[in-house]
Structure 1
Amino acid sequence: MRAIWKGAVTFGLVNVPVKLYSATEDHDVPLHQVHDADGGRIRYKRVCEIDGEVVPYEHIDRAYDDGERTVVLTKKDLADLPAERDREISVVEFVPSEQIDPIMLDRTYYLEPDSKSTKAYVLLRRTLEETDRTAVVKFALRQRTRLAALRVREEVLVLQTLLWADEIREAAFPALDEPAKVSEKELTMSAQLVSSFEADFTPEDYEDEYQVQLRKLVEAKLESGESVDTAATFGEAAEEDGEGADVVDLMEALKRSVAESKSKSGSRPASASKTASKPKSGSKPQKAG
């Protein structure tokens, strides 16, 4: 991994030098656009509307338009902003971990100690662990001021950027203004259904089926030299979603679900319900696109 930012976590008089790394990567099969008539690559060009010339990226600045006037902001203008020059991840407060609403979570980064002595890093990590608190921090990254949650994951400090409060939309649905009445019997049956699906979450048991199928399609086309029938590659097409299906009684649906779940759980391993197929041993990992 390559560090994308260097700075320091600061709280009080404690300074923890760190390097920032992206904790996630995209595994999607990389695709690009082509002309359907001849397969020619479709590319986008940055063209100036005044002189019609293609402009290299290094000569492109940013601008703000208020409808009547345009203000051009150069790369130097943006780089000289105080927040952009700041190389500190400043702890604003330590809050109970459960108060961080998951809907606010955005991107995740790892923090690596950037010092010969890891004492300050370990001190902060253990403090978060033993107090069961999450540090709310502010820092600047890629020309944006970020709010983030600093927590511990497997002995490593993890930084998860947060959406700002005004970026979270309000869920206002008129249909929920008067909640439907649910009987105790329906709740009991629903709880039984949940119980029949109970398991410990193991992320490795799941796979991105669309990307697996897409890679199979690409490989099949490469092997054939031209094209293949999609149904022949993946088997019979999945049944259409029953959008026009009759509305069934909620209680009856719960009973059927519980009964079906019990019958299935007795005939196959619990992990089988998580994924239809596991990756074959020795298979090559997918590269990030």
Structure 2
Amino acid sequence: MRAIWKGAVAFGLVNVPVRLYAATGEHEVTLHQVHAADGGRIRYRKVCSVDGEPVTMDEIAKGYETADGELVVLTDDDFKRLPLATEREIEVLEFVPAEQVDPILLGKTYYLEPDKTAAKPYALLRGALEDADRMAVVKVALRQRESMAVLRVRGKVICLQTLLWPDEVRAADFPILDADVTVKPAELAMASSLVDSLAADFDPSQFEDRYDAALTELIEAKVSSGDTQSLPQPPTQDGGGGGGEVVDLLAALQRSVEKARTSRGASAPEPAPAAKKPASRKKAAAASDDDAPKPTRAKKAKAKAS
């Protein structure tokens, strides 16, 4: 695993240097969007909605639209000036009973690995959490955002699990829940009996993602039967030196020439004239005099006036 954050847990006067690792990773079969006709990959470009031009990453800023339709543009420098007091520190604020943390608040889980010199203070914090049967409520800054989180013990490792802020939890506003519903004792007893018949200790390893397994089996069957095709290659390959743009420019010019010929009624290019023998010096001079541009009436009048 690769650490995504490095800092320390501030536990009273004890400082525990740690590294943060993502504890979970969703698995799924990687599928791409392709053109059904030829298998070409579908690409997306970032385009400005005003001028329709493609935009590169260094030209992109973040914007906030106000209620009255005004736009506030925020740059990277603006974000750098914002205070993040816990940028490299996981500050323990309090210890709370685990049952008081509503599961709906729980977010992404991370593993905390102690630094080589922090094995003892790490074990001290882990033991304190286990003995108290509590979670440590902390604040941490991840990816330029300050989050609430809890520290809890899982086996021998301390986990950091992010929490939603209270105003990020939506209210369950369903009027039907306030309706007066009568449940008969016999019905409740039958439902309780069903619960007892399906009671078990939770073991997630006995469950599987049937859709993912079926999709994998489907792909393997197509591969085994030879129902595949070669990956299509774009007609032009950009080697990094702008070659693709040059080819595109030449193609655009060629189309322009063809369009111009069509508009002038020339469906095909005229054959080049046959090569002629070189003329004598006198004839060449005469031809040069004949080909020279003749003065216009305006030029003649001007010369005469001068």
TM range (shorter): 0.7 to 0.9
* Residues 190-199 or 125-134, more deviating: 190-199
What does residue 217 of structure 2 align with? 216
Q: What is the alpha-carbon distance in structure 1 between the residues aligned to residue 204 and residue 178 of structure 2?
A: 36
Q: CA deviation at 1:167?
A: 1.0
What does residue 10 of structure 1 align with? 10
Residue identity (%): 58
8 Å Cα contact 2:137/2:148 also seen in 1: yes
Q: CA deviation at 1:11?
A: 2.7
**C-alpha distance 9-176 of structure 1, shift in aligned 2 (>3 A):** same
> What is the TM-score when the length of structure 2 is the normalising length?
0.69
Q: CA deviation at 1:68?
A: 4.2
Task: Find the residue that maps to 1:117 and give its secondary structure.
Answer: helix
What does residue 195 of structure 2 align with? 194
Task: Find the residue that maps to 2:112 and give its secondary structure.
Answer: strand
Q: What is the alpha-carbon distance in structure 1 between the residues aligned to residue 88 and residue 79 of structure 2?
A: 15
8 Å Cα contact 1:106/1:162 also seen in 2: yes
Q: What is the alpha-carbon distance in structure 2 between the residues aligned to residue 78 and residue 49 of structure 1?
A: 24
Report whether the alignment pairs 1:105 with 2:79: no
8 Å Cα contact 2:87/2:141 also seen in 1: yes
The within-5 A match list for 1:97-136 is 97-136=98-137
Q: What is the alpha-carbon distance in structure 2 between the residues aligned to residue 97 and residue 135 of structure 1?
A: 9
| Structure 2 stretches lacking a partner, 5+ long | 229-306
Q: CA deviation at 1:179?
A: 4.0
Aligned residues: 227
Q: CA deviation at 1:50?
A: 5.5
* Letter of the 1:5 counterpart: W
8 Å Cα contact 1:78/1:84 also seen in 2: no
Task: Find the residue that maps to 2:73 and give its secondary structure.
Answer: strand
Q: What is the alpha-carbon distance in structure 1 between the residues aligned to residue 175 and residue 88 of structure 2?
A: 46
**C-alpha distance 52-141 of structure 1, shift in aligned 2 (>3 A):** same
What does residue 28 of structure 2 align with? 28
Q: What is the alpha-carbon distance in structure 1 between the residues aligned to residue 87 and residue 104 of structure 2?
A: 28
1:25-65 deviation digits (Å, cap 9, x = unpaired)? 02011111112222211111112345644333344332223
8 Å Cα contact 2:93/2:139 also seen in 1: yes
Q: CA deviation at 1:116?
A: 1.7
**C-alpha distance 91-174 of structure 1, shift in aligned 2 (>3 A):** same
* Letter of the 2:43 counterpart: R
- Asked which structure has the greater CA Rg, the reply is 2
What does residue 138 of structure 2 align with? 137
* Greater RCO structure (CA 8 Å; 6+ sep): 1
| Structure 1 stretches lacking a partner, 5+ long | 228-289
What does residue 72 of structure 1 align with? 73
8 Å Cα contact 1:84/1:144 also seen in 2: no
Q: What is the alpha-carbon distance in structure 2 between the residues aligned to residue 217 and residue 84 of structure 1?
A: 51
Q: What is the alpha-carbon distance in structure 2 between the residues aligned to residue 51 and residue 186 of structure 1?
A: 65
Q: What is the alpha-carbon distance in structure 2 between the residues aligned to residue 75 and residue 170 of structure 1?
A: 34
8 Å Cα contact 1:79/1:85 also seen in 2: no
Task: Find the residue that maps to 1:82 and give its secondary structure.
Answer: coil
Task: Find the residue that maps to 2:117 and give its secondary structure.
Answer: coil
* Residues 24-33 or 214-223, more deviating: 214-223
